[in-house]
Chains A and B, each alone.
Chain A
Amino acid sequence: MLNIENLKAKIDNKEILKGLNLNINSGEVHAIMGPNGSGKSTLSNILSGKKGYEVEGTVSFEGENLLELETEERAHKGIFLAFQYPLEIPGVNTNTFLKTSINAIKKARGEKELDAIEFLKLIKQKSLELKFDEKILSRQLNVGFSGGEKKKNEILQMSILDPKLSILDETDSGLDIDALRIVSEGVNSLRNNKKSFLIITHYQRLLDYIKPDFVHVLKNGQIIKSGDYELAKELEKVGYEDFN
Chain B
Amino acid sequence: MENNLKLNFEDYLNEKNLTNSQKEIKESNFDNFIKNGFPNKRIEDWKFSDLKQIISTNFDNINFLNREIASSIDESLIDDLEHNKIVFINGVISKIDFSYESEDKIIVEQNSNLEKELSDNVMLNLNTAFVSNYTKILVKSGYQFQKPLFLFNYLTKDLNNAGLNSRLDINLEDDVALNVVNLSNENLNNNFLNYRQKINIGKNSILKNYSLDTNENSNFRYSYKDIYLEKNSHLEYFILSKGSKFSKHDINCFLNNEYGSIVLNGIIDLNNEKHHEIKTEINHNEENCKSYQLIKSVLNDSSKGIYQGKIYVNSKAQKTDGYQLSRALLLSDEVEFNAKPELEIYADDVKCSHGSTSGNIDENSIFYLMSRGLSYDQSKKLLTNGFLNEVIEKITNENIKSLVKKLTGINE
Q: A: which residues have CB within 8 A of B?
A: 48-51, 70-72, 74-76, 80-81, 83, 86-87, 89-93, 96-97, 100-102, 104-105, 108, 140-141, 157, 161
Which residues from A are CB-within-8-Å of B383?
Answer: 89, 92
Q: Which residue of B lies closest to A105 (CB)?
A: B373
Chain B neighbourhood of A140, CB < 8 A: 386
Candidates B364, B372, B390; contact of A161 at CB < 8 Å = B372
On whether the beta carbons of A108 and B368 are closer than 8 Å, the reply is: no
Q: Check if B102 is an interface residue, CB within 8 A of chain A.
A: no
Residue B370 is within 8 A (CB to CB) of chain A in the complex: yes
CB-CB under 8 A from B390, the residues of chain A are 90-91
Query: Helix, strand, loop or mixed for chain B's interface?
Result: helix
Contact residues on B (Cβ < 8 Å of other chain), bracket: 20 to 34
Min C-beta distance of A46 to chain B, whole Å? 12
B-side contacts of A100, CB under 8 Å: 374, 378, 382
**Complex formed: what's the CA distance from A81 to B373 in Å?**
11
> Once the chains bind, are B389 and A71 in contact (CB under 8 Å)?
no
**Contact, CB under 8 Å: B393 / A72:** no
Chain A residue at minimum C-beta to C-beta distance from B368: A87
Q: Which 10 A-B pairs have the closest CB atoms?
A: A91-B386, A92-B386, A91-B389, A75-B373, A71-B370, A105-B373, A101-B372, A104-B373, A91-B390, A87-B368
Give min CB distance, A112 to chain B, whole Å.
Answer: 16
B338 contacts the other chain (Cβ, under 8 Å)? no
- Report if A83-B368 is in contact (Cβ < 8 Å); known contacts: A91-B393, A161-B373: yes
Which residues of A have CB within 8 Å of B364?
87
Q: Is B371 on the interface with A (CB-CB < 8 A)?
A: yes
The residue in chain A whose Cβ has the minimal distance to the Cβ of B384 is A91
Q: Find chain A residues with CB under 8 A from B111 CB.
A: none
Which residues from B are CB-within-8-Å of A93?
A: 412
Report the minimum CB–CB distance from A232 to chain B (whole Å).
27
A108, B369: Cβ atoms closer than 8 Å: no
A104–B375 contact, CB under 8 A?
yes
* Other A-B pairs, 5, CB within 8 Å; known A81-B371, A97-B372: A83-B371, A89-B386, A91-B385, A100-B378, A161-B372
> Would you give the shortest CB distance from A173 to chain B, in whole angstroms?
17
CB distance from B408 to the nearest CB of A (A): 12
Quote the shortest CB–CB distance from B269 to chain A (angstroms).
13
Given the complex of chains A and B, what is the CA–CA distance between A162 and B375 in angstroms? 18
In the assembled complex, the Cα of A90 lies from the Cα of B367 at a distance in Å of 15
A50-B367 contact given A90-B386, A91-B386, A91-B388, CB 8 Å threshold:
yes
Q: How far is the CA of A100 from the CA of B380 in the complex (A)?
A: 13
Provide the residues of chain A in CB contact with B386, threshold 8 Å.
89-92, 140-141
Contact residues in B for A71 (Cβ distance below 8 Å): 367, 370-371
Q: How far is the CB of A120 from chain B (nearest CB, A)?
A: 14
Q: Is the CB of B370 within 8 A of A97?
A: no
A92-B373 in contact (CB<8A): no
Are B373 and A90 neighbours in the complex by a CB distance under 8 Å? no
Residue in A48, A92, A96, A141 whose Cβ sees the most chain B Cβ within 10 Å: A92
| Complex contact A86–B373 (CB within 8 A) | no
Task: Report the nearest A residue to B381, measured CB to CB.
Answer: A100
Given contacts A92-B385, A97-B382, A100-B382, are A157 and B365 in contact (CB under 8 A)?
Answer: no
Least Cβ–Cβ distance between A158 and chain B, in angstroms = 10
CA distance A80 to B368 in the complex (A): 11
Closest chain-B Cβ to A99's Cβ sits at a distance in Å of 11
Q: How far does the Cβ of A94 sit from chain B's closest Cβ, in whole Å?
A: 11
Closest chain-A Cβ to B395's Cβ sits at a distance in Å of 13
B146 interfacial contact with A, CB 8 Å: no
In the assembled complex, the Cα of A83 lies from the Cα of B365 at a distance in Å of: 11
